[in-house]
Amino acid sequence: MLLEHSRNVDLFRHVWKMMMGSRSLQLLILFVCSLTITTIECSECSEVKKQNPNLYNITRTIVHSAVSKGAVCLDGSPPAYYFDPGFGDGVDNWIVQISGGAWCVNVTDCIGRTKTQLGSSKYMDKLEFQGIHTKNKSANPDFYNWNKVILAYCDGGSFVGDVEYVDPATNLHFRGKRIFYAILEELLKKGLKNAKNALLAGTSAGGYPAVLYCDSFRDSLPTAARVKCLNDCGYFPHFKNPELERNWHDRFSGVAELQIKYTIGDHMTPLVDAGKCSASQNQSLQEMRSEFLNALPKGDNPKLRGVFVDSVHHHNSLLKRWIPEIAINVNGQLHTEAFADWYFDRKYTYLIDETNELPLENNARLIWAVDNATARVIYNATL
């Protein structure tokens, strides 16, 4: 291999000396080299184009410096996040999303999590970015080129725990609050401190900390920046109906005891399965819906900043239903458009699905269409 390389170098030198006597040949060589470079670059560009802009993988970033602050996962390993840098005119705009993943409600449950990515960064693999993180400009025109961050969830308690004591018998660490601030500190150094637009979002179990830390997130950024927060599928209301209340009360009692008092809570009640409800459960859902709608401010309230109430039983809109074809549609308005209009203060939408009083069963193929006869939006799971 080395001999062949030497021969090639000697041959190139010989040809080069012959060609240097002609200016036209110099230009030819330059042109050929340019073609070679262009071909290589175009080849690399084609590889980028082959990537699906709607779904792509990002490698974890481990925050080793967080360990000295006591900001660690359940098993004591350092926390992590996933980062995809912005580009173009989106380099100063940021989406910071707090992951969900339910909670561990007793010691046994939490120990089980330490063997998974929900309790240890040792098991965190690449993460699929999709939904609001898509780079597809036509599907995501307002956010496609922003800096995108997803905080890995590994504390089991919605990023709220700050317990110094570690039981040597379990080696469980409840340090979610410290994790949030340790990662925020690193992101600020990466450029978040210069943000012009920023969104702190949380999904499911990550929804509550998005609300809890919204003010401190706002205070960390320039005063001139537009900063807003989104709780995506993370509201857990205190229902008056005991059938609906019991499940969440039992769950959160266990979480609170672990993350604050470090004692055991061991009772859980199965969730009501959408689409398989009894008549009494449907009645409870209708009562809850009515109570919720009556509590909303009316459309003529001058302080109102928008309402978009749909009936699709979905979870995690930011990732799962951000593409126009499967976005939630109420009276011809997509929830993705309504959200972007709200974020940029372009306009405020007041829309409530009055057609469906009971939840529409969630389905990956649940696609909306418009009934030409009634001009109403309908959902079809068989398209």
- Which residues, in sequence order, are CB contacts of 241 under 8 Å at separation 6+? 284, 287, 288
* 370 or 85, greater pLDDT: 85
Count CB-CB contacts under 10 A for residue 246: 13
102-106, 134-138, 311-315: which range is least confident on average? Answer: 311-315
Is 265's pLDDT higher than 50? no
89-94 average pLDDT score: 98
Give me the amino acid identity at 32. Answer: V
Q: Rounded to an integer, what distance in angstroms lies between the CA atom of residue 352 and that of residue 356?
A: 10
SS3 248: helix
Per-residue model confidence (pLDDT) at position 1: 42
Is 117's pLDDT higher than 80? yes
* 50 or 129, greater pLDDT: 129
Per-residue model confidence (pLDDT) at position 356: 82
pLDDT digits (tens, 9 = 90+) for 174-203: 999 999 999 999 999 999 999 999 999 999
Q: How confident is the model at residue 373 (pLDDT cuts 50, 70, 90)?
A: low
Per-residue model confidence (pLDDT) at position 220: 98
| Residue (of 149, 230, 135) closest to 186 by Cα position | 149
At residue 150, φ and ψ (nearest 5 deg) are -125, 120
194: left (phi over 0), alpha (psi -120 to 50) or beta: alpha
Per-residue model confidence (pLDDT) at position 321: 82
What is the model's pTM? 0.77
- Output the DSSP codes for 47-60: HHHHS-TTSEEE-E
pLDDT digits (tens, 9 = 90+) for 206-257: 999 999 999 999 999 999 999 999 998 877 766 676 766 666 677 777 787 7
Per-residue model confidence (pLDDT) at position 311: 83
Structure tokens at 253: 């009692």
Q: Rounded to an integer, what distance in angstroms lies between the CA atom of residue 82 and that of residue 59?
A: 6
In terms of DSSP H, where are the helices of 276-361?
Answer: 279-295, 317-320, 335-343
Name, of 88-102, 235-249, 340-354, the range with top average pLDDT: 88-102
Across 29-176, the runs of DSSP E, i.e. the strands, are 56-58, 60-62, 80-84, 93-98, 127-129, 147-151
Is 376's pLDDT higher than 70? no
Check: CB of residue 127 under 8 Å from CB of residue 82: yes
pLDDT digits (tens, 9 = 90+) for 59-74: 999 999 999 999 999 9
Per-residue model confidence (pLDDT) at position 3: 40
Is 267's pLDDT higher than 80? no
DSSP at 69: G
252-266 average pLDDT score: 58
* 272 or 159, greater pLDDT: 159
* 156 or 274, greater pLDDT: 156
pLDDT digits (tens, 9 = 90+) for 24-55: 333 333 333 333 333 333 333 343 345 677 88
Is 143's pLDDT higher than 80? yes
* 370 or 240, greater pLDDT: 240
Q: How confident is the model at residue 364 (pLDDT cuts 50, 70, 90)?
A: very low
Structure tokens at 280: 């009494």
* 312 or 50, greater pLDDT: 312
Q: Rounded to an integer, what distance in angstroms lies between the CA atom of residue 130 and that of residue 204?
A: 16
Q: How confident is the model at residue 378 (pLDDT cuts 50, 70, 90)?
A: low
Is 20's pLDDT higher than 70? no
Q: How confident is the model at residue 280 (pLDDT cuts 50, 70, 90)?
A: confident
Q: Rounded to an integer, what distance in angstroms lies between the CA atom of residue 42 and that of residue 34?
A: 12
Check: CB of residue 127 under 8 Å from CB of residue 57: yes
Per-residue model confidence (pLDDT) at position 34: 32
Report the percent of the chain where pLDDT is more than 70: 73
Is 287's pLDDT higher than 60? yes
Is 273's pLDDT higher than 80? no
Per-residue model confidence (pLDDT) at position 72: 98
Structure tokens at 246: 């019991």
Per-residue model confidence (pLDDT) at position 12: 38
92-103 average pLDDT score: 95
Q: Rounded to an integer, what distance in angstroms lies between the CA atom of residue 82 and that of residue 35?
A: 37
| Residue (of 107, 104, 117, 128) closest to 73 by Cα position | 117
Count CB-CB contacts under 10 A for residue 208: 21
